[in-house]
Chain A
């Protein structure tokens, strides 16, 4: 479903991606750990097609992807550490707008269903600026799942969520993966990240210093790679 080959991207002297390669099938989940500045968000933006790699290629559903193909873009759901929501609009208005752009049938009922799915059925008419940080994050999650994407790209998705909301998101993502969606998640949260992963990577200075199946990693191993770099697991 998703393949990255030799991705390289630098911003001036800073190399954010340096030869990153991996592949992910439907129903698999890759969690990428790494310290601040490791290039994790650049990786996700490149996979999403929001940023062009200077070298290397991303393939979505077997076809080269550079963010220009509308059918491939439709396959992607994106949660960033920013909400992508308009504060002055209500949760429902935000989602209806997204639904219309994605050509979702019956945008109003789709928006309501998506918000109910994340436990915000009673806040659909609340302006986003009046919602708590956790509720905003849940609205952002509803937004990203609205068009039923096959590939989810998640940048610190658990940020700002309370215990119940985090459990809800975990269950939701587990269901998505079980139903055949592919997930790439970047996070600092080792516990949450490992729980959903079928593959794990640790990124430092733009490189995957460790990459392998979930079974090859425990929290201590991830932390060790985090601090020191290291070899492939």
Chain B
């Protein structure tokens, strides 16, 4: 287990270093997030629907689609020069590859969310500071679910002809439970309700995280077979 974690951290560090050097995915995702917020801001009719009612959905739509840009890239970088072959031939086990990608994707998406939340607060005039701690907890739990499932599907679709299309098509149905939970909790937090009021959703999200990280570990090897 220790070796698996060590190798996973090695892979995650490499991925983050690559992203830090290239910055292409991070910049694309951030610009995408900003554009989504701008479009929602101007497209909504505030007399028909209030910012508070719309805001949680907008926030999670933005996170989901911007995050997918990062997930798409996760295995593409391994295929450009067939670097994946080198990783598969190393003694490191397949679980460490999956966990390494999960760690790197998690860091990437959380970074993206950390920048998007203040922008979102400004655009939608929502107080994101008061509920910041419980909101951060909700975001982290939902992002673990997003990344655990997304990394698995990213590995599955990376070698297909329409990888960038296939990933969202496969992923979105599996994201319905965690996104629904996250939207429900975010709505209550923005309404100033206590976290205890959403304990059921929290438990659902935690259970989803545990189930899909375990499933990801178990199924990941099958995605690598040619």
Interface on A for B, CB 8 Å cutoff?
45, 48-52, 67, 70-71, 73-74, 76, 78, 80, 82-89, 93, 97-98, 100-103, 127, 143
The answer to whether A86 and B92 touch across the interface, beta carbons within 8 angstroms, is no
A54 to chain B, nearest CB (A): 12
| 8 Å CB contact of B92 from A51, A87, A101 | A101
- Which residues on B sit within 8 Å (CB–CB) of A78? 85-86, 89
Shortest Cβ distance from B224 into chain A, in angstroms?
9
Given pairs A52-B226, A84-B86, 19 additional interface contacts (CB within 8 A) = A50-B89, A67-B88, A73-B90, A73-B91, A78-B89, A80-B82, A82-B81, A84-B85, A85-B81, A88-B18, A93-B17, A97-B14, A98-B90, A100-B10, A101-B10, A101-B11, A101-B91, A101-B92, A103-B3
Complex Cα–Cα for A71 and B91 (A): 7
User: Which B residues, 172 to 226, have Cβ-Cβ distances below 8 Å to chain A?
Assistant: 225-226
Contact partner of B10 (CB less than 8 A), chosen from A45, A85, A97, A143, is: A97
Indicate whether A50 sits within 8 Å of B226 (C-beta atoms), given known contacts A97-B10, A101-B91: yes
B87 A101 Cβ-Cβ under 8 A? yes
**B17 touching A89, Cβ below 8 Å:** yes
> A101-B7, A101-B10 known; A85 and B83 CB under 8 Å?
yes
Closest chain A residue to B21, Cβ basis: A88
B30 within 8 A of A: no
B169 at the interface (CB under 8 A from A): no
Given the complex of chains A and B, what is the CA–CA distance between A73 and B14 in angstroms? 21
Q: Which residue of B lies closest to A67 (CB)?
A: B88
Closest to A70 in B: B91
Interface centre among B21, B77, B86, B225 (most CB of A within 10 A): B86
B37 smallest CB distance to A (angstroms): 29
Q: In the docked arrangement, what's the CA distance between A89 and B83, Å?
A: 12
Q: Are B10 and A83 in contact (CB under 8 A)?
A: no
Q: Which of B16-33 contact A (CB under 8 A)?
A: 17-18, 21-22
Closest 4 CB pairs of A and B: A101-B90, A70-B91, A84-B86, A88-B21
| CA gap between A165 and B87 in the complex, in Å | 26
- In the complex, which residues of chain A have a beta carbon less than 8 angstroms from the beta carbon of B10? 97, 100-101
C-alpha gap A84/B220 in the complex (Å): 21
Q: Give 30 pairs: A residue, B residue, CB < 8 Å, sorted on A.
A: A45-B226, A48-B89, A49-B89, A50-B85, A50-B89, A51-B226, A52-B225, A70-B93, A73-B89, A74-B90, A74-B91, A78-B86, A82-B82, A84-B83, A84-B85, A85-B83, A86-B81, A86-B83, A88-B22, A89-B14, A89-B17, A98-B86, A98-B90, A100-B7, A100-B10, A101-B11, A101-B90, A102-B90, A102-B91, A103-B3
